[in-house]
């Protein structure tokens, strides 16, 4: 037989590999992303609801922060993970708008779906979306207003923070937290604005407004030995010494062997241990320090020694807290006590140990080099405090961006409606398929004001019609007014958001959509079995195995 003309079957992928491709695969990916969008939809806006998530370990989280929800949902669909990534990127880059970017990306995919079903190439849609995104970003930059308030930027920052908090758990306490949030960002180095230097400590119990802002450093009282209560708990203008030295009397190691012939020699060995630690303590006392902090333990001998000399000490201070203390009070961490100079010591206006809830906290106030601050958050339950922390993080990031760039745009769906109108008008100037795709992009932008209305229980169709009418008359700042349950000029009402938040959200949503549209094949490898899978258990007789 002649097999010369037959093409042999070539196996490239291993058996069990799932390969799906074509237009159906793109639509399947879009449907997965829409499922994510449906999960987040109810959380958008000031009247959005929270989601309660229970992890496999039983830990509960209550949140309406898009990035947090997506992180905890444990999404397994490979295409839907793209939405998780853009939400996290939005959170890291600008802090706010994590829900908006996910909903926007989902809506762009939803608008692209009919075109795909009608047979239009995904590359044509990608090209149209990319052009629409460029036009939208340019329009936002044109509409953004640089606000100057006669040199007083605090007013601008408070308004941006208030808008960021409007959809959060702390919206009812906004007056209190807006001030705290702006104080926190303004206490940082205005060149670097490193938000990692804002320490946040959570203390269960009390009301949310019992939270404290410390212009300096605060950390929980560390593990302490007998004699600690005899130490002074308050100093004015203290000298602060930071160490990376263990001040503890160590016993001989179990495997150590010391051979002595006389009792005096044994005494010399024991006395040497005492002499070493007493020398260290004397050197610290001679340095003039009133407060001694160490990353390593400070034992009972040292604690009592310091108490007798009116010196405060804290051992096992966390590295993060120690670094922020150094930044705030000055000085440097010392790894030896033998050469402590005056420039190695830091200082502050006031140090005191105070009771916060059921915990005691060491607080350093009035730091000369205060480029750091600490927020002590209170609340009735751990879940509440955790959500307060996430809400403040978003507001702090928004304030940080507003300082860097003073450009703001009106919130409440106003900017989306104006850009949507602009893209509709632009689409009428071009011909062919691109006109339809540009129009679809414009329609997708309306999902933000529509969802805001639905979550607030308003008639979305009526409100959107009013908004379209207002924007066609040139009312660029008109958006959803939740107080009057109608439309209004949100710029005049100081509902402001940094333009950067909107630009980043549009760019991220468009890129994620284009990425999903450009993937038309998914190859999923079969999960590998353990090495001994399918092998008979020890002592078992396998099929066809000879018995002996």
What confidence score (pLDDT) does residue 5 get? 58
Is residue 281 a contact partner of residue 292, using CB atoms and an 8 Å limit?
Answer: no
Q: Is residue 103 in some structural domain?
A: yes
**pLDDT tens-place string over residues 235-255:** 888 899 999 888 887 654 555
Cα separation, 100 vs 33, whole angstroms = 14
**CATH assignment of the domain containing 306:** 3.50.7.10
Band of pLDDT at residue 539, cut at 50, 70 and 90: very low
The tokens describing 276, both together, are 């070493």
Task: Please check whether residues 141 and 184 belong to one and the same domain.
Answer: no
Task: Say which residue the tokens 């444990």 belong to.
Answer: 74
Q: Are residues 33 and 121 in the same domain?
A: yes
Residue 66, SS3?
Answer: helix
Say what the pLDDT of residue 148 is: 63
Strand partners, 292: 241, 313
- Cβ neighbours of 50 (radius 10 Å): 17
The mean pLDDT value for 489-504 works out to 86
End-to-end CA distance of the chain: 45
In total, how many domains does the chain have? Answer: 3
Let me know if residue 259 belongs to a domain.
no
Long-range contact list for 436-441, CB < 8 A, 24+ apart? 436/115, 437/115, 437/124, 437/125, 437/128, 437/129, 437/132, 438/128, 438/131, 438/132, 440/111, 440/112, 440/115, 440/128, 441/108, 441/111, 441/128, 441/129, 441/132, 441/133, 441/136
**Signed CA dihedral, 46, 70, 160, 375: sign only:** positive
The residues carrying an active-site annotation are 65, 98-99, 394
Beta bridge partners of 214: 374
d(CA 93, CA 504): 8
Dist. CA 99–CA 455, nearest whole Å = 13
Sheet holding 216-220, edge to edge: 216-220, 359-365, 350-356, 234-236
460 and 397 within one domain = no
- Mean pLDDT, to the nearest integer, of 245-266? 72
Residue 460 lies in a domain: yes
Please tell me which of 313-317, 396-400, 537-541 the model is most confident about, judged by mean pLDDT: 313-317
Q: Which two tokens mark 45?
A: 């806006």
- In this model, does residue 188 exceed pLDDT 60? yes
Lowest mean pLDDT among 189-193, 330-334, 542-546: 542-546
Q: Are residues 336 and 233 in the same domain?
A: yes
The neighbour count for residue 408, using CB atoms within 10 Å, is 26
Residue 341 has pLDDT above 80, yes or no: yes
Instruction: Give dist(CA 139, CA 133) in Å, integer.
Output: 10
221 and 364 inside one domain:
yes
DSSP-derived pairing of the beta strands 239-243 and 291-294: parallel
pLDDT of residue 513: 92
Residue 29 is part of a domain; what is its CATH number? 1.10.560.10
Q: Is residue 541 part of a domain?
A: no
Of 526 and 129, which is predicted with more confidence? 129
Domain that holds residue 270: 217-254+264-369
Mean pLDDT for the stretch of residues 478-484: 87
Within a domain: residue 532?
A: no
Name the nearest CA neighbour of 499 among 156, 67, 3: 156
Residues 322 and 195 in one domain: no
Residues 179 and 239 in one domain: no
The verdict on residue 161 lying in a domain is no
* Residue 8 burial by Cβ neighbours in a 10 Å radius (0-12, 13-18, 19+): exposed
Residue 56: its pLDDT value, please? 83
* Sign of the dihedral through C-alpha 447, 444, 513, 26: positive
488 with 353, same domain: the answer is no
Element (H, E) at 409: strand 407-410
> What is d(CA 548, CA 546) in angstroms, rounded to the nearest whole number?
6
The DSSP 8-state label assigned to residue 434 in this structure reads H
- Rounded percentage of the chain residues whose pLDDT exceeds 90: 18
H or E element, residue 524:
strand 521-524
Residues 6+ apart with CB under 8 A from 322: 242, 293, 295, 333
Confidence of residue 438 (pLDDT cuts 50, 70, 90): very high
The predicted-structure confidence for 47-99, as pLDDT tens digits, reads as follows: 888 888 888 888 888 888 888 888 888 888 888 888 888 888 888 887 778 88
Closest among 163, 166, 165, 178 to 209, alpha carbons compared: 178
What's the mean pLDDT when you consider all of the chain? 83
- Cβ neighbours of residue 84 closer than 8 Å, sequence gap 6 or more: 36, 70, 71, 73, 75
Do 227 and 278 reside in the same domain of the chain? yes
Which residues face 219 on adjacent strands? 362
The DSSP code sequence of 115-178 is HHHTT--HHHHHHHHHHHHHHHHHHHHHH-EE---TT-THHHHHHHHHHHHTTSGGGGGHHHHH
The answer to whether position 157 is within a domain reads no
Q: Which residue has 């011909």 as its token pair?
A: 431
C-alpha atoms less than 13 angstroms from C-alpha of 268 in its C-beta half-sphere: 8
Half-sphere exposure of residue 143: CA atoms within 13 angstroms, side-chain side? 29
DSSP assignment of 299-329 equals -HHHHHHHHHTT-EEE-S--HHHHHHHHHHH
Per DSSP bridges, beta strands 198-204 and 373-379 are parallel
Distance CA 348, CA 171 (A): 34
* Domain identity same for 418 and 393: no
Does a structural domain hold residue 112?
Answer: yes
**pLDDT score recorded for residue 419:** 94
Distance between CA atoms of 490 and 468, rounded to whole angstroms? 15
Pair 409, 420: CB distance under 8 Å:
no
Per-residue model confidence as pLDDT tens digits over 202-213: 888 888 888 888
Q: Are 412 and 373 in contact (CB under 8 A)?
A: no
The pairing of beta strand 373-379 with beta strand 234-236: unpaired
In a shared domain, residues 314 and 421 = no
Q: Average pLDDT, stretch 489-500?
A: 85
* pLDDT tens figures, 292-332: 999 988 888 888 889 998 999 988 998 888 888 888 888 88
Same domain, 200 and 141: no
Q: In this predicted model, which residue has the larger pLDDT, 329 or 532?
A: 329
pTM over 0.85: no
């Amino acid at each position: 037989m002649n097999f010369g003309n037959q093409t042999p079957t070539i196996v490239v992928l291993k058996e069990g590999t799932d390969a799906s491709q074509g237009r159906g695969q793109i639509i399947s990916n879009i449907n997965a992303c829409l499922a994510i969008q449906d999960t987040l939809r109810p959380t958008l806006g000031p009247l959005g609801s929270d989601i309660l998530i229970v992890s496999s370990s039983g830990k509960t989280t209550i949140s309406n922060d898009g990035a947090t929800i997506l992180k905890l949902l444990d999404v397994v669909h490979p295409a839907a993970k793209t939405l998780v990534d853009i939400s996290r990127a939005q959170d890291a880059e600008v802090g706010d708008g994590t829900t908006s970017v996910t909903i926007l990306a989902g809506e762009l995919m939803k608008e692209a779906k009919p075109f795909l079903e009608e047979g239009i190439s995904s590359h044509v849609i990608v090209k149209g979306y990319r052009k629409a995104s460029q036009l939208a970003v340019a329009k936002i930059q044109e509409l953004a207003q640089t606000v100057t308030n006669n040199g007083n930027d605090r007013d601008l920052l408070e308004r941006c923070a208030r808008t960021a908090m409007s959809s959060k758990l702390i919206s009812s306490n906004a007056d209190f937290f807006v001030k705290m949030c702006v104080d926190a960002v303004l206490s940082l180095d205005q060149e670097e604005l490193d938000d990692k230097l804002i320490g946040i400590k959570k203390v269960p119990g009390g009301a949310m407004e019992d939270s404290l802002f410390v212009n300096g450093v605060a950390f929980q009282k560390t593990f302490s030995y007998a004699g600690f209560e005899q130490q002074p708990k308050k100093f004015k203008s203290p000298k602060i010494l930071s160490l990376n030295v263990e001040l503890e009397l160590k016993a001989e190691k179990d495997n150590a062997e010391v051979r002595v012939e006389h009792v005096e020699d044994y005494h010399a060995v024991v006395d040497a241990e005492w002499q070493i630690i007493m020398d260290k303590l004397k050197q610290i006392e001679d340095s003039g320090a009133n407060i001694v902090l160490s990353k390593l333990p400070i034992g009972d001998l040292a604690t009592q020694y310091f108490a007798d000399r009116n010196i405060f000490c804290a051992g096992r201070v966390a590295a993060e807290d120690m670094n922020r203390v150094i930044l705030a009070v000055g000085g440097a961490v010392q790894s030896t006590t033998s050469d402590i100079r005056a420039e190695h010591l830091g200082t502050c206006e006031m140090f005191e140990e105070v009771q916060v809830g059921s915990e005691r906290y060491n607080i350093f106030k009035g730091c000369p080099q205060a480029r750091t601050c600490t927020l002590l958050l209170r609340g009735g339950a751990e879940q509440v405090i955790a959500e307060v922390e996430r809400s403040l993080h978003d507001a702090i990031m928004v304030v940080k961006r507003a300082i860097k760039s003073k450009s703001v745009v009106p919130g409440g769906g106003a900017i989306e409606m104006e850009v949507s109108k602009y893209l509709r008008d632009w689409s009428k100037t071009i011909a062919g398929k691109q006109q339809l795709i540009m129009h679809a992009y414009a329609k997708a932008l309306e999902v933000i004001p529509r969802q805001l209305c639905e979550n607030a229980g308003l008639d979305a169709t009526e409100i959107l019609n009013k908004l379209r009418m207002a924007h066609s008359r040139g009312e660029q700042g008109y958006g959803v007014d939740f107080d009057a349950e109608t439309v209004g000029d949100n710029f005049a009402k100081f509902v402001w958001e940094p333009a950067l938040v909107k630009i980043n959200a549009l760019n991220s949503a468009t890129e994620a959509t284009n990425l999903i549209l450009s993937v038309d094949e998914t190859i999923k490898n079969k999960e590998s079995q353990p090495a001994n899978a399918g092998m008979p258990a020890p002592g078992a007789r396998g099929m066809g195995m000879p018995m002996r």
